[in-house]
Amino acid sequence: MSTLMLLGPQRHQITIAEALESLDEGPCAVITAGWQERELEMAELEGIGNRKTINLQLHHRAETIFKDDPDFREEHRTNQRRIKHLQEIYRIRLNHTLGAVHDLMARAKDFPADVLEHELEDAMVGVRALDQHHLNHMRDIHEDFQEKWRVSSRPHARDHHYELTETLESCTAVLIAGGHVAVLLNRLRLLDLEPFIREKPVLAWSAGAMVLGERVVLFHDSPPQGPGYAEVFEAGLGLFDNVIPLPHANNRLQLDNPTRVSLFARRFNHASCLTLETGSRVDRVDGKWIPKNNIHCLREDGVVEPWEGP
């Protein structure tokens, strides 16, 4: 039975132990690379009972590989610079394309509904096409890099990769914490762990939940620099494709603004856009999503409501 559990943030209420009760006994592999230099600080896992935990130390291992293999390090940096440039170009295009859609929705009362709806949907198609174009571009870049520089083929990285796969094989489940979403995703992809994680029950929260989907969506309606739009940041690991996790949505999204909620839900209408707050939990068992606690969904009509599943 394939099991995936997406949890809310653990800082104020640790719910990992309760989620683990439904799984077989045994050690758990822990991934805290998103905490970067703090990845060995395991405070969020103190309440999981007597389970043995093995921190895979992905951030530390990657830094060691970079130090020992300068050619790999420089090629990786070059690849990351290219990704950042493409992300900036995408962001510039997105602000114009999505801004027009937002303006149309904000002025809905100025136009006949039947006239506006057709034009609005046509404009939204353009936004979705831009998102998909960027997502495809990111996938191509990662596939090219992996083909040329796969970590398992590098002499200084091979031992790390072998040790990680052996550890994952011996563990009952994998726990993936949050933190810096870009660093977490980077280390998981760099060390080529997706095929091995996919075979295990996985519990993930905050950024850990975000990186497991088909796409990683960054979101903040009110960032410090002014009004913001959600953006497709990266291709995720692809363990699921029909849910977009939204950790800390109450703080990051204007959930009481029907226009903003509708814009988000209509744009990503291929998936259920789910809030993950403290105490939240949704399970995916054999491909079926089962909401457990405190899960809300953004609807295309601008309403946020409790989610009962697809």
**Long-range contacts of the stretch 287-293 (C-beta < 8 A, 24+):** 287/2, 289/242, 289/243
As to burial, measured by CB atoms within 10 angstroms (0-12 exposed, 13-18 middle, 19+ buried), residue 192 is: middle
Q: Which two tokens stand for residue 33?
A: 């690379």
Q: In the 8-state DSSP scheme, what is residue 97?
A: H
Distance of CA 17 to the CA centre of its chain: 22
Hey, CA dihedral for 230, 234, 236, 242, is it positive or negative? positive
What is the per-residue pLDDT for 47? Answer: 64
Contact 164, 30 (CB under 8 A): no
Which 3 state secondary structure label does DSSP give 11? coil
- What is the pTM for the complete model shown? 0.92
Region of 6 please: left (phi>0), alpha (psi -120 to 50) or beta: beta
What is the per-residue pLDDT for 113? Answer: 87
Structural domain span for residue 120: 3-306
What averages of pLDDT result for each successive group of 10 residues across the chain (310 residues)? 86 86 89 92 72 93 94 94 95 91 86 88 94 96 91 88 94 94 95 92 96 96 75 95 95 93 94 96 93 95 92
Q: In the 8-state DSSP scheme, what is residue 286?
A: T
**Which positions ≥6 away from 133 have C-beta within 8 Å?**
none
Identify the CATH number of the domain in which residue 190 sits: 3.40.50.880
Relative orientation angle of helices 113-149 and 258-267, to the nearest 10 degrees:
50
The count of structural domains within the chain is 1
What is the per-residue pLDDT for 143? Answer: 93
In single-letter form, the type of residue at position 289 comes to: W
C-alpha–C-alpha distance, residues 156 and 52, integer Å? 29
Within 10 Å of residue 235's Cβ, how many Cβ atoms?
23
- CB neighbour burial string for 79-105, b if at least 16 within 10 angstroms, e if fewer: beeebeeebeebeeebeebbeebbebb
- What are the E-state strand segments in 8-155? 28-31, 53-55
What is the per-residue pLDDT for 33? Answer: 95
What is the per-residue pLDDT for 48? Answer: 73
